[in-house]
Structure formats: structure tokens, C-alpha cells
Structure 1
Amino acid sequence: MSIGTAGGAAPAYVDDDALDAISVSHLPWSLDLGDDRAPTSARWDLGEPWVVGCRIGRMTGRRGRAELRDTPGEYVAVLLVHHGTEYLRQEGRTAEVTAGGAALWDGVRPVECFTASRLDKHTMFVPRALLAAAVPDLDAALVRAIPDSADLRLLHAWLQTATGHEDLEPDTAQRAGRMALDLLNASLARARDGSSGTHAVLLLQVKSFLDANLSDPTLTLDTVAKANAVSLRYLHLLFQGSGETAREYLRRRRLERARQLLTGADLSVTEVAGRCGFDSPSSFSRAYRAHFGMTPREARRED
């Protein structure tokens, strides 16, 4: 990232460490900074997405060919403004994002941004393929202010809560990232059709229930449906378009939890299997090998 300064030489209080922190935490940008506020930023990894918190003064930025070439991977960025106003411009569209608002911009295309005064914000970077699979007609949602909704307000509050902790365990961080993505999807669903986003909110509720009951080997989809006051058929419909079935989600989450326990807790393979809802060590070992390409014991030795 090349960083210049609006209006002349860099002020003394904008030190190299602050600029380096912005370079490391964000995708590559070319920025011109004003002299009214020293920029600060911090990054949190939440599983597949990562989130950057940033406070900055007057600023203009651009991502052109050089920055796109230096970007590792393809991402969509979710801008959430807490204080101030940021303007985005990409491929002929302009979005004004004010406090409490949000908008998406595409990390694979040139983009510009501008703010005239102090700005406090979070930016969540989501793998483009992941978001495209969950959001119909993603291109239509880019660089458009996301309408205010309960889901969007929850997303703002959730990211501020999740990023308020510096010592999140990997499993907890992944759960926080999934919840943030579910709230984002609910916000976008509401923006698309003006509905309450009930489908997406209920999916978030069901996933939270599954995450809370991973250790129960007797858990069935009938039980999940009854606990969340939906039919079994509607439970299956909820997961359509999410990239996996309810059963696949439960199996994946159990195996992710098992991997974390194998590498971070002093438990036997049998104990890990029991805590992750598998009815026997042998079924656990087969499922683990099929998912990760190695047995639980091999994973522990590798660690």
C-alpha cells in the first residue's frame, strides 16, 4: 500500500507504525491522509471473514491496477460506519454511508473512497465466492447503501462486541464470524425484497441451536425442528442456498470442534468423540479422516 498525505508532508504524529498497521490490516490501498487525525486500525480474524476497525480523519483512497494486482485473493468488503460519513465510488455507482449505515464494495474491481472528517468504522472482508453463494445477484447489491433494519443494527452491535475481545479462541472466533455473516445475509435479504428477513434470522437461530448442542449424540433433525418451532420440511428449506444441508452443517461443526479439542485440550480421542456428539470413537475417526484427510491421532501427532 502506498500512502501519501493530503495537502503536503505527513504530520509528525502520523508515525510509520500507524501507517504500517493500516497496510497490514486492509487490502492494498493508495491513501492520501489529512493532517487532522492520526489513523489507527486493528484486525480480528473471525474464521473465514476478517474484520478491521479503523479511526481516521480526512482521507481519499483508491484501489487501481497496482493495488488489485497486489491483493491476495478475491473479497467483498462490508463497510459499516459508526461515526462520520464515507463515500464509495465503483464502476459508476456512488454510495454515501453515514453513521449506522453499511455498503458493500468489490475487492476485484477498482474503487475509490472519501471522507471529509473524522471516521470510525468496521470493514468486514468476506471471501467473494462465499458471499456470492449466499446472495442472489451480488453485483446488484454492490455500492448501494444497505437500508436500516433490525438485522443491520444487530450486525453493527455484534461486530463491536466481537471485536471488543482480544483473546477469542479460534472456535469462538469462527462462531462470531458465522453469526456476522448470517446477520449480513439477513440485512441484504431485507434490502432485496423489503421483507422482515425472517428466513435468514430463523436460519441464524437454528445454527445457534445446533452450535449449542454439538455434544449431544442423540440430537436429530426432528429434535432441532421441534426446538425451533418449525416443521422438518421447513428446516430443510431454511438451509437451501446456504451451501450445505442441516445435517452437513451439524457434522462440519462437530468436526471443527473436535479439531480444536484435539490440538488445544488434554483429552483422549475417545473423550473428544464423546464431547463432539459421536456415538463411538470409530465413527468419529472415519468422519474425521473423510473431512480432514487424516485420522484424529495423526492430527494430534502433526500438531
Structure 2
Amino acid sequence: MGVKVLEFEFTTEDLPAPDQFDYVRAAMSDLPAPHDASTDHIDGFRLHQRKLNLDLIWVWTMAVQPITLRRTARLIRQADPETYNLVLVQHGTIGRTWSRHEATYGPHDLHVNDSSQPYVLRAHSTQGLVTCIGVEIPKKLLSLPVTEIDHLVGKRLPSQGIAALLGGFLVQLTTNTSAYRPSDGPRLGTVLTDLTSALFAHTLETDSTLAPDSRQRTLILRIRTFIQQHLHDPRLTPGMVAAAHHISTSYLHRLFQRDGTTVAAWIREQRLKRARRDLTDPALTTASISHIAAQYGFTHPAAFSRAFRTAYGIAPKDYRHQARADGSHPEPAPR
């Protein structure tokens, strides 16, 4: 089968009972986003965790006895990876306290933690371990402004539609990891980024407390997510994008002009980025350049070659040859 996606697994069952919680407490304080841990079950504490590395994103599963985790202002000053942690509860409950707010999440509930904000989490179960799945995603991967996503931190996210799709994907992703290879990591990370972005945008768009400008930004995010999910379609045009979102083409152009670009240019940029990534993918060494180009809507190989050279100053075949020759993933400078 070959090497799998980078995976780490830990269980306290491998440690002497008197040392189990001390190890957990030390591990929690040594995370990229450190936490203080406490529990009433110090003797024989049970915790089992698996973590998958998907390029810049981590996906984790945890089964744990009741525990309290505190992310304090002191710990934030000590270390802040600037990530969002999206948590899906499977069994038991997780209570969250932050600022002057409190919330409790049960099975199938999704909520968001922000590594830059203090909070207290209390995992509780009257029968068995608390189990959950989480996604740690860097804020920089999401195009929606942090000030707007802040509206979602701590809230119970919708359980239907995109949230159900994301939850199902997380369960499937973590149930059997043996079939995934290292080259699958960036692809799976892209899927998670798109789903998370779409969920945030959908939730914000339906929030009646948001200002009009915030609603406009969430619309842009939803449009960009739609484009990224349809890069394979050669019929992807500004007119198609506008029609799918029930807005005029002229309004769509104005939305992108705010960011100093055009719709067509952004579509072309995203297609070229995905194609560039696949050109250096070890799993696609036998795929022709024209096949890779067609996967991202370039129906004419010559047009793809011209667009790639214009954007990166190198022909796609030369870029691929350079990557194979030195075993690296060169990053051509955009022009």
C-alpha cells in the first residue's frame, strides 16, 4: 500500500496508572496552543488520540475521561498558532465558557474555538468516554476576515446541509486512514478548507445581526468556494457564477473589483495553482500535462501552456521536469 498520510496515535494505556494524567497535563501544556488541564479522575486517567497531518491542517480524534481544559490569556501570550479548531461531538457533552457566555454541545453538535481567545472547555459523560473529532485550520487559509468569523466562535453551528456534509466527511476521513498516501494530504486539506469556508459563509449569511458589509464579504467567500469547487468545468464563466448566486454579472464584477482583481482572472489563477500542484504530485507522474490541464477546465493544451508560462515564467513541461530532476516542489514566482 505504501506510506500513509502522516499519522500519530497516543493512548494513556501504555503508561503506568499513577503517571497517566501527569503525562496528559504535560502534553496539553506543550501543544502549539497550550492548555491547562485538570480532572477528578487523576488515578488511571484514560485518553486515546489520533492525529492526521493534511499539509497545513490537522484532523484529530479523541476519546477521553471527563476533563477540563483552560486556554488562558497567559497561555495565549505564551504561544498562539492563530488557528480555528472546529469540534464535532460524538458522545458525551462539552461545555464551553468564554467572556460572559456559556454553551453546551452534545452529540452531532459542531462548534468553533479560536486559539487567540480565552475559554474553558469541560468534557463530561455519565457513561463511557467523551468522544469527538476536531479540525485545526490556520486562519490564513480562510479568506473571510477574522473579525467576521469571530461572530461564530462558541456558537452551535447548524446541523443540517453543509454542516452535515462536513461532519460526514470527518467521520469517513478518520474511520479508515490506511488507504491514504502522503500525496493525498494536500487534496484532503483542500476539501476541508472548502467545506469549512462554505459552512462559515453560510452561517454568517443567515445571521441577521451582521452588518451589510459583512454579508457582502460572506457572499464573496461563498462565490469563491463555488468557483474552487467547479474549476474542472470549462463552462465556468462570470455569467455562470452570477446565475448560480442569483446576482447580476455586473454586481459580481464589482464584488471582485473591491479586492483589486476580476472574476475571470481569479478563476484562471485558481486553475493554474491547482494544475501547478498536480504537476509535481508523485501520484500523477503518469498523467499527461494535457490531462492535468483538462481537470481544471483548460480544454486546449496550447492555451494552458501559454497561461502557465505567462503566470510563472516557465513552461509546464519544464516546471515538471525540474521538479522530477531535483525531487523538490519548486515555487515559480508569479509574474
Length-normalised TM-score, structure 1: 0.71
Q: Describe how 1:270-285 pairs up with structure 2 within 5 A.
A: 271=290, 274-275=293-294, 277=298, 279-285=303-309
**Could you report, residue by residue, the CA deviation over 1:212-257 in whole angstroms, capped at 9, with x for unpaired residues?**
44xx5xx551584499586645765887999976542452243233
Contact 1:32 1:60 in 2 (8 A): yes
Cα 1:10/1:67, change in 2 over 3 Å: farther
Normalising by structure 2, report the TM-score. 0.65
Structure 2 Cα separation of the partners of residues 140 and 280 of structure 1: 41
Q: Is the 8 A contact 1:77 1:125 kept in 2?
A: yes
Relative distance call for 1:115 and 1:263 in structure 2 (3 A) is closer
Q: % of aligned pairs identical?
A: 19
> Gaps spanning 5+ residues in structure 1: where?
none
The answer on 1:175 being equivalent to 2:190 is: yes
Structure 2 counterpart of 1:176, one-letter code? V
Matched, 1:151 2:162: yes
8 Å contact from structure 1 (residues 80, 101) kept in 2: yes
Deviation at 1:21, TM superposition (A): 7.7
Q: Which residue of 2 aligns with 1:192?
A: 207
CA RMSD of aligned residues (A): 4.4
Question: Among 273, 276, 279, which residue is 1:255 paired with?
Answer: 273
After superposition, the Cα gap between the structure-2 partners of 1:84 and 1:236, relative to the gap in structure 1 and judged at 3 Å, is farther
AA of the residue aligned to 2:229: S
Output the CA distance in 2 between the equivalents of 1:229 and 1:253: 21
- Which of 124, 130, 139 is the matching residue for 1:116? 124
Q: What is the rounded CA distance, in whole Å, between the counterparts of 2:320 and 2:280 in structure 1?
A: 7
Task: Name the aligned partner's letter for residue 53 of structure 1.
Answer: T
Aligned length: 287
Q: Aligned equivalents of 1:300 and 1:72: distance in 2?
A: 37
Which of 57, 68, 82 matches 2:76?
A: 68
**C-alpha deviations, 1:11-49, integer Å up to 9, x for none?**
369489988887787732222243576211222344554
Q: CA deviation at 1:119?
A: 1.6
Q: Any conservation in 1 of the 2:141–2:193 contact (CA below 8 Å)?
A: no
Q: Secondary structure of the equivalent of 1:27?
A: coil
Distance in 2 between residues matched to 1:10 and 1:60, nearest whole Å: 22
1:1-303 alignment runs, 5 A limit:
11=17, 14=20, 27-33=33-39, 34=41, 38-65=46-73, 67-71=75-79, 73-117=81-125, 118-131=129-142, 133-134=144-145, 137-166=148-177, 167=180, 169-189=184-204, 192-193=207-208, 204-210=225-231, 212-213=232-233, 219-221=235-237, 224-225=240-241, 232-233=249-250, 246-247=263-264, 248-264=266-282, 265-266=284-285, 271=290, 274-275=293-294, 277=298, 279-289=303-313, 295-302=319-326, 303=328
